[in-house]
Amino acid sequence: MKFEGNASLLQQKMAGSSAGVARRLAVMNALSLQTGDTVLDVGCGAGHLVEDIGLAVGSGGKAFGLDPSETQLESARVRCDLLSNATFLCGMADKVDLPSVSCDAIASIQTLDYIEDVGATLAEVARLLKPKAHFVNVSVLWDNFKFHGADEKLNDLIHETFKAHCYHQMLPMELSGRMAKHGIGNIRTESLAFVMTQRHENSPATYAEMVLANFAISQGVEEEKVQQWRSQLEQAEAEGRFGFTSFPVLTVGTKL
Ligand SMILES: C[S@@+](CC[C@H](N)C(=O)[O-])C[C@H]1O[C@@H](n2cnc3c(N)ncnc32)[C@H](O)[C@@H]1O
């Protein structure tokens, strides 16, 4: 999935919603940053986490955000405009333009899910990390990313179609082993799972529904069917039987 145009806007809405705020708080706690640290966010999107990192490491520190999407980076630069220590790099996660052993910590939120060769990215993360530095990743268990309330057959069709939106459906289940292969150990995982029963403007369900709908149409599902699914969810919410569940997992390890 390319994070340009409308997909970029929806992703930014999702990042600004309650779920985005909660996962950044969990990531910041796991990073345990010190003032003066140099920190990289891989797949920084619109720069929400880079802003938090920049504020935490202070003017003597450095906050780098990396993303291949110029649309995402444009928003990130605006967001971090007042931070003198934030720098954005346009590029891919497996080839970062920073020196080896230069990072005190690296974070990545919901990005490895979209990268086919996770091993090449982890090798790059391992190259950049200083000894004992933390790598904190959040990826989603997509099999548990589910809407409830619509007709079962139609609901299944929309979810089945969405599987093609990223490379890895259940990455957190295998990430510990993959990180260990690249010399990142002392691994701990934490559930960031949540359930939403409303579709208001601060609810990730609202934006996730739009993402699934747009993706289904792009994959050839008839617009009428997609609209029917959305109407059924709306009806379910009105009748108090709507639900949306997501199961992001935080994985943190230390460079050995
Ligand atoms: C779901 S968004 C998450 C953005 C941000 N981390 C957040 O939580 O708001 C995934 C991001 O990964 C970026 N991305 C996709 N492929 C990438 C790659 N190979 N290397 C680095 N970033 C990538 C996309 O452009 C997009 O901004």
The pLDDT assigned to 92 comes to: 98
Question: How far is residue 231's CA from residue 63's CA, in Å, rounded to a whole number?
Answer: 43
Atom of ligand 1 nearest to the CA of 93: 20
Q: Going residue by residue through the chain (256 aa), what tens digit of pLDDT does each one get?
A: 778 888 899 999 999 999 999 999 999 999 999 999 999 999 999 999 999 999 999 999 999 999 999 999 999 999 999 999 999 999 999 999 999 999 999 999 999 999 999 999 999 999 999 999 999 999 999 999 999 999 999 999 999 999 999 999 999 999 999 999 999 999 999 999 999 999 999 999 999 999 999 999 999 999 999 999 999 999 999 999 999 999 999 999 999 9
Residue nearest atom 5 in ligand 1 by C-alpha distance: 45
Query: In this structure, are residues 218 and 150 in contact, taking their beta carbons and an 8 Å threshold?
Result: no
- In the chain, the amino acid numbered 143 is D
Count up the domains in the chain and report the number.
1
At CA 14, angle to CA 153 and CA 47, rounded to 5? 145
Identify the domain containing residue 129 by its residue range.
Answer: 5-255
Please tell me the pTM assigned to this model. 0.97
The pLDDT assigned to 1 comes to: 74
Residue nearest atom 26 in ligand 1 by C-alpha distance: 45
Question: How far is residue 131's CA from residue 202's CA, in Å, rounded to a whole number?
Answer: 39
CATH code where residue 127 lies: 3.40.50.150
